[in-house]
Each structure stands twice: as structure tokens, then as C-alpha cells.
Amino acid sequence: MWVGTRRQFNGLIIGGIAMMITKNFSSNEMMCHCGCGDADMDEDFMKQLQGIREEMNRPLKISSAVRCEKHNMKVSSTGKNGPHVHRKAADIVISGADALRLIDVARKHGISGVGISQRGEHAKRFVHIDTLSGDDGHPRPTVWTY
């Protein structure tokens, strides 16, 4: 689905297009941060993420979703087999009561992996959610902290 977007920079309205994967999540926000342009998320995961977004009834800011192998090697100890490489994971910037509610809602929607980063500045705190299974080479269900 393609939708028009309008952004305002210093009084100028700039029109553009964004590719929406689901109603609330665009390929831009799911894209690998290395610059490779890869935004190819797992379809089932995106349906679950959209369901979580609707039940939360608030915007969910994604800080990391797709990671190509190369990028994951750089930023994660999970290397070539990390949850983000499987395209079934998202890190959501959220803290406090909302973070706890996200974990509850995510579990209801079939999330099998929860990583919790809740130290330091609230603006940088996040919750990782994924839908991996033992078949992906990761023990699930599980929870961890960073």
C-alpha cells in the first residue's frame, strides 16, 4: 500500500511517498540502519505487530527492526543468526507502565521473546519483541535484559 506523506521543514511543505507494510508501520521505519535499504520483514510478524499496535492504542516507535547479517554482526552478539536477521523482531522505544503493558499485550499476540532495556534515560529505554521458535536456533519462550 502506497500513501502520500507531507512533512513540514522550516515552513516548507515537502510531499513524498512512504511504503506502508501495515496500516501503522512503513518500510522506512522497519529498514536496516546500515544503509543497505533492506526492509523485508516477516509477514506474520508484521500482522502480530499491527495487532499489538491496535490493542495498545498508541503509536509504537521502532528503534530497530530488519538487520542484514552484516549489520547484525556489527551491533549484536547474536551475529548472523540474530532475531533481527530473521526479520521477526522489533525494538520498541517505551518505558515505565507502558512498557509493562506492551509486554502483557505482546504475549497475548504470540510474542515468544522479550528483551528488556529499562535503565538510564527514558527516551532510550526499549522493549525488544520477537516471534522466534526453537526451529530458528533460539530457545523460546524466553525473556532477557540488556
What is the closest distance, in whole angstroms, from the C-beta atom of residue 70 to Zn ion in the complex? 6
What is the closest distance, in whole angstroms, from the C-beta atom of residue 145 to Zn ion in the complex? 26
What is the closest distance, in whole angstroms, from the C-beta atom of residue 46 to Zn ion in the complex? 18
The residue written with cell numbers 504470540 in the block is: 110
Looking at the Cβ atoms of 34 and 100, the one nearer to Zn ion is: 34
Looking at the Cβ atoms of 33 and 107, the one nearer to Zn ion is: 33
Q: What is the largest CA-CA distance in the chain?
A: 51
Contact 129, 119 (CB under 8 A): no
Looking at the Cβ atoms of 41 and 114, the one nearer to Zn ion is: 41
Looking at the Cβ atoms of 34 and 103, the one nearer to Zn ion is: 34
Sort strands 61-64 and 113-117 into parallel, antiparallel or unpaired.
unpaired
What is the Cα–Cα distance from 121 to 64, expressed in whole angstroms? Answer: 18
Sort strands 142-145 and 113-117 into parallel, antiparallel or unpaired.
parallel
What is the closest distance, in whole angstroms, from the C-beta atom of residue 42 to Zn ion in the complex? 16
Residues making contact with Zn ion (CB under 5 A)? 32, 34, 36, 68, 71
Hey, which residues does 12 pair with through a beta bridge? Answer: 9
